[in-house]
């Protein structure tokens, strides 16, 4: 473990369920580690593992552009159900589901250490999961440097059977499996090849086992090891067509670099009784990994001055106690950043992060982009995890050609329209139905590009890919926004507020608040980056209607007159202008902020989806409502949403494995303490009473500075601002507002009265 239990978690028993397995990952490969000394299992996953469905024809956006003018006419004329038949007649078709690859099994005969003390732990700062019982130890991590799952098992007289096992829940009966095992001078090579039913696609897993001492013999489909002192396993999986050259892959694993023995992150006692060559290879691989993982993890820390005795408790015990305990929030903050980093690389996190132990993953284990993905990655900029934003950018930019197809096919426009669901391979809009007319959602491109724009502001860069993509969003609106209401204001028609509907109309309607905010933001942001087009894009943004306040005093989810709100819903799409945008805030638009707050007060939790509670908390933090933030957090902390792995569930009572709460929680804790825009710093906007003392270190701001914040029970606080750009900003604290002049390279110390 790291220096304090804040940066890891532990359990006194092996995982009995895959949901409780400790997690490691590098954004490509994932590992779910059970830590059972007698029947250890490591489930292997990879971001590319999505099951083909044998039908590529349906993965095209519907060709509806020719029918769009008639739909717009009907909606503008008051036909509230007009959009229900705006479809090409296809049934709802889910994106291809994410699935696990196989499990690495290490089965031991009954051992005389069965009554020895047991402990399994995961160190968030290193990404290493460790299980120990007596003299038996297993360590697993997934290397960010070498893209390999590394496991080292040590014990005197180690005897075990090693195999790659594809038998996981929900695996299709027609999955074609081929096994291979061979002994080489470098170790035992195990290969598992799985071909999907009815497809030429397959995936192949390769494990190289280097054994120290004892004997190794083939026992198909694996190997039997007897009398060893150490087994070092290196595992990769590839999805492919045709055949994978397993021999070449084994050579690549054997060729992984080793270095100076004395560079080990552990001291020499860990390897003194084992063969130095193999111990060195494990430690050198770990050193290379830590240069990437630990560097990222250590950038930001949260310390809530928790009781050391509570910090030392197993995670499952902390979770069973009162939800507001500082020790639990500390650990969930650390775990959330760890899991978010570990799931981000080739792609950003899926609904399940990078992990699953079941082929029947809820909602296909996809990227749901109309809420979940952005909520999971909400802390990326402030929590100093550019690796997460880079993964998010990889998904966006690889799909831009498909987004262009969506715009042309559905709306007959230039530019781009993003889908609400993707498997990571295809960005076409093809998942929609009458009750979920997701093909009508036009705000997605702005919503998905907002984190990339935040990244550029945070680091003082201007990614030309983001700039170009923002221009394409503006081009879409330039073509799409041409219908008007009776007052000459532009109308967004059709319009959709994910995933809600008016109380008196169908889902597809007019002027959803999210669509208004997205169109205005996209046009103005693109104008800022493209001076040559700024005039016409700003003029178009000026014609977008204002938000509407309804008879309840709440910001209406649909600005079109006569559309009634439906308050009991898990999504808060209409408050996009509050979070993550700054269009509505208590400082510049107090009346709209009050209406948004009223809308938040009236919003129900519907089915208690975790993402709804944390989305509620993020909006409440922007509106400076500490009590509402605490209440929303409490619904999650007290609702049994977290597994012993500290990965979360979608519903209470650990129902449906889902990363939304785990990954979004750090963003909530940061937003209640520090908020920023390119011209403003807000300190302690929503400090809950349950956290009277603490410190948040290393938070990044969108005006190019890091902030270290501490606060104490007497109501005083201290912030150290470390700018890398010279500029004047507005400082907002509970005491009021004042200008703050920052000079690059010069620290500014700010004293604050928290209340």
Residue 55 has pLDDT above 90, yes or no: no
Please name the residue that has the structure tokens 């014990």: 155
Asked whether 328 and 315 are in contact (CB, 8 A), the reply is no
601 vs 553: CA distance, rounded Å: 11
Give the pLDDT of residue 570.
95
Distances (CA, A) of 384 to 278, 337, 684: 35, 10, 19
Residue 558's pLDDT band (cuts 50, 70, 90): very high
- Whose tokens are 């239990």? That residue is 5
Cis check: omega of the bond before 554, within 30 degrees of 0: no
pLDDT in tens, 272-296: 333 444 444 899 999 999 999 999 9
How many residues in the chain? Answer: 755
Residues of the chain by 3-state class (helix, strand, coil), percent to 5: 30, 25, 40
Neighbours of 46 (CB within 10 A): 24
Mean of the pLDDT values across residues 267-272?
34
- Specify the pLDDT at position 127: 98
- Does residue 26 belong to any structural domain of this protein? yes
Distances, alpha carbon 103 to alpha carbons 41, 169, 207, 691, in Å: 6, 11, 11, 41
Q: Is residue 398 over pLDDT 70?
A: yes
What confidence score (pLDDT) does residue 653 get? 97
pLDDT tens, residue by residue, 93-139: 999 999 999 999 999 998 888 789 999 999 999 999 999 999 999 99
The partner residues of 181 in beta bridges, in order of sequence, read 190
Q: Which residue has the higher pLDDT, 274 or 348?
A: 348
Quick check: 652 and 640 in contact, CB under 8 A? yes
158 DSSP β-pair partners? 228
Euclidean distance between CA atoms 237 and 31, whole angstroms:
11
Q: Which residues touch 664 (CB under 8 Å, ≥6 apart)?
A: 336, 375, 376, 378, 379, 610, 611, 614, 615, 618
CA angle (619 as vertex; 723, 577 as ends), nearest 5:
85
- Note the pTM of the prediction, 2 decimals: 0.95
Nearest one of 191, 162, 193 to 177, comparing CA atoms: 193
Indicate the pairing of strand 727-733 with strand 680-683.
parallel
Cα–Cα distance list, 338 to 84, 375, 475 (Å): 43, 16, 38
Average pLDDT of the residues in 543-571:
97
Parent domain of 122? 5-50+97-298
Q: Are 293 and 126 in contact (CB under 8 A)?
A: yes
**Beta bridge pairs of residue 154:** 137, 230
- Order of strands, sheet of 748-753, starting from the edge strand that comes earlier in the sequence: 301-303, 694-700, 705-711, 716-723, 748-753
Residue whose structure tokens are 């107090």: 590
Per-residue pLDDT, 277: 44
Closest CA to 143 of 244, 270, 30, 60: 30
Residue linked to tokens 């609400």: 420
Residue 344 CA to residue 576 CA, distance in Å, equals: 24
Instruction: Label residue 588 exposed, middle or buried (CB < 10 Å: 0-12, 13-18, 19+).
Output: exposed
The mean per-residue pLDDT over the stretch 350-365 comes to 97
**pLDDT value at residue 278:** 45
Per-residue pLDDT tens for 15-47? 999 999 999 999 999 999 999 999 999 999 999
What pLDDT, in 10s, does the model give residues 562-621?
999 999 999 999 999 999 999 999 999 999 999 999 999 999 999 999 999 999 999 999
Cα 457 to Cα 461: distance, rounded to the nearest angstrom: 7
pLDDT beyond 90 at 660? yes
> What is the number of other CB atoms lying within 10 angstroms of the CB of residue 115?
8
- Going by their DSSP bridges, the two strands 705-711 and 716-723 should be labelled as antiparallel
d(CA 546, CA 454): 24
Confidence of residue 418 (pLDDT cuts 50, 70, 90): very high
pLDDT at position 270: 34
- H-run or E-run covering 456: helix 444-459
Query: Is residue 184 one of the residues assigned to a domain?
Result: yes
Kindly write down the DSSP assignment for every residue of 513-553, as one continuous string: HHHHHHHHHHHHHHHHH-GGGHHHHHHHHHTSPPP-B-TTS
Structure tokens at 409: 């096919």
459-517 residue pLDDT tens: 999 999 999 999 999 999 999 999 999 899 999 999 999 999 999 999 999 999 999 99
- C-alpha distances in angstroms, 612 versus 579, 617, 651? 13, 9, 10
Helix count and strand count (H, E) for the chain: 16, 27
163 in a structural domain: yes
Q: Is the pLDDT of residue 58 over 90?
A: no
Mean pLDDT value of segment 255-270: 47
Is residue 153 domain-resident? yes
Residue 32 within a domain:
yes
Please state the domain count of the chain: 1
What CATH number has the domain bearing residue 45?
Answer: 2.70.98.50
Q: Is the link from the previous residue into 580 a cis peptide, with omega within 30 of 0?
A: yes
pLDDT given for residue 186 in this prediction: 81
Classify residue 115: in a domain, yes or no. Answer: yes
Residue 33 placed within a domain: yes
According to DSSP, residue 99 is labeled: -
504 occurs within a structural domain: no
Q: Whole-angstrom Cα distance, residue 112 to residue 114?
A: 6
């Amino acid at each position: 473990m790291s220096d304090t239990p804040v940066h890891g978690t532990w359990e006194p028993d092996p995982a009995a369920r895959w949901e409780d397995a400790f997690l490691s990952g590098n954004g490509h490969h994932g590992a779910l580690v059970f830590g059972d000394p007698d029947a250890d299992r490591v489930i292997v996953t990879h971001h590319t593992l999505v099951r083909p469905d044998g039908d590529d024809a349906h993965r095209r956006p519907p060709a509806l552009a020719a029918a769009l003018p008639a739909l717009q006419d009907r909606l503008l004329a008051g036909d509230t159900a007009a959009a229900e038949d705006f479809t090409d007649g296809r049934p709802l078709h889910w994106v291809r589901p994410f699935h696990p690859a196989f499990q690495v099994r290490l089965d031991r005969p009954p051992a005389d250490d069965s009554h020895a003390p047991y402990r399994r732990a995961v160190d968030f700062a290193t990404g290493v999961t460790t299980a120990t019982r007596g003299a038996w130890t297993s360590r697993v991590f997934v290397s960010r440097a070498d893209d390999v799952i590394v496991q080292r098992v040590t014990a005197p007289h180690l005897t075990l059977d090693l195999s790659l096992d594809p038998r996981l829940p929900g695996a299709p009966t027609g999955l074609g499996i081929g096994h291979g095992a061979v002994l080489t001078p470098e170790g035992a090579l195990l290969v598992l090849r799985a071909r999907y039913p009815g497809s030429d696609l397959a995936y192949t897993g390769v494990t190289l086992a280097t054994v120290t001492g004892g004997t190794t013999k083939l026992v198909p489909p694996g190997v039997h090891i007897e009398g060893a002192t150490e087994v070092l396993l290196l595992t990769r999986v590839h999805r492919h067509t045709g055949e994978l050259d397993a021999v070449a892959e084994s050579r690549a694993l054997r060729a992984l670099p080793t270095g100076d023995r004395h560079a080990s992150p552990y001291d020499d006692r860990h390897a003194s009784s084992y063969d130095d060559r193999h111990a060195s290879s494990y430690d050198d691989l770990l050193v290379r990994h830590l240069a990437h993982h630990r560097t990222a993890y250590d950038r930001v820390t949260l310390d809530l001055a928790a009781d050391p005795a509570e910090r030392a408790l197993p995670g499952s015990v902390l979770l069973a106690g009162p939800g507001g305990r500082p020790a639990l929030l500390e650990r969930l903050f650390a775990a959330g950043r760890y899991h978010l980093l570990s799931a981000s690389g080739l792609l950003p996190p899926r609904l399940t992060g990078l992990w699953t132990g079941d082929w029947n993953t809820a909602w296909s284990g996809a990227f749901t982009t109309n809420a979940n993905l952005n909520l999971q990655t909400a802390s990326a900029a402030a929590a100093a995890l550019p690796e997460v934003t880079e993964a998010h950018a990889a998904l966006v930019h690889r799909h831009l050609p498909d987004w262009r197809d969506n715009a042309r096919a559905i709306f007959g426009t230039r530019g781009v329209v993003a889908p609400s669901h993707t498997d990571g391979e295809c960005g076409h809009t093809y998942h929609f139905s009458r009750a979920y007319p997701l093909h009508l959602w036009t705000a997605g491109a702005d919503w998905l590009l907002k984190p990339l724009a935040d990244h550029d502001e945070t680091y003082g860069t201007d990614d030309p890919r983001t700039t170009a993509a923002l221009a394409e969003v503006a081009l879409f609106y330039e073509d799409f926004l041409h219908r008007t209401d009776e007052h000459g204001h532009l109308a967004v028609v059709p319009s959709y507020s994910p995933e809600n509907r008016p109380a008196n109309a169908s889902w597809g309607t007019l002027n959803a608040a999210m669509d208004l905010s997205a169109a205005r933001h996209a046009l103005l942001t693109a104008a800022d980056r493209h001076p040559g087009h700024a005039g016409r894009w700003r003029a178009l943004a000026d014609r977008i209607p204002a938000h509407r306040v309804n008879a309840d005093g709440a910001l209406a989810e649909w600005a079109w007159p006569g559309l009634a709100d439906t308050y009991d819903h898990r999504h808060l799409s209409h408050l996009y202008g509050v979070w993550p945008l700054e269009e509505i805030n208590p400082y510049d638009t107090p009346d709209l902020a009050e209406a948004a707050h009223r809308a938040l007060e009236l919003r129900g939790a519907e089915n208690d989806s975790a993402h709804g509670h944390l989305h509620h908390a993020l909006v409440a933090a922007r509106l400076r409502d500490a009590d509402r933030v605490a209440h929303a957090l409490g619904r999650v902390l007290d609702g049994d949403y977290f597994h012993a792995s500290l990965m979360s569930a979608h519903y209470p009572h650990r129902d449906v494995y889902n990363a939304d709460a785990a990954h979004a929680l750090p963003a909530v804790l940061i937003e209640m303490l520090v908020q920023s825009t390119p011209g403003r710093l807000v300190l302690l906007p929503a400090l809950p009473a349950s956290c009277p003392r603490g410190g948040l270190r290393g938070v990044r701001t969108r005006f190019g500075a890091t902030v270290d914040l501490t606060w104490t029970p007497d109501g005083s606080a201290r912030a150290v601002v470390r700018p890398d750009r010279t500029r004047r900003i507005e400082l907002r604290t509970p005491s009021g507002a004042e200008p703050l002049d920052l000079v690059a390279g010069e620290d500014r110390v700010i004293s604050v009265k928290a209340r």
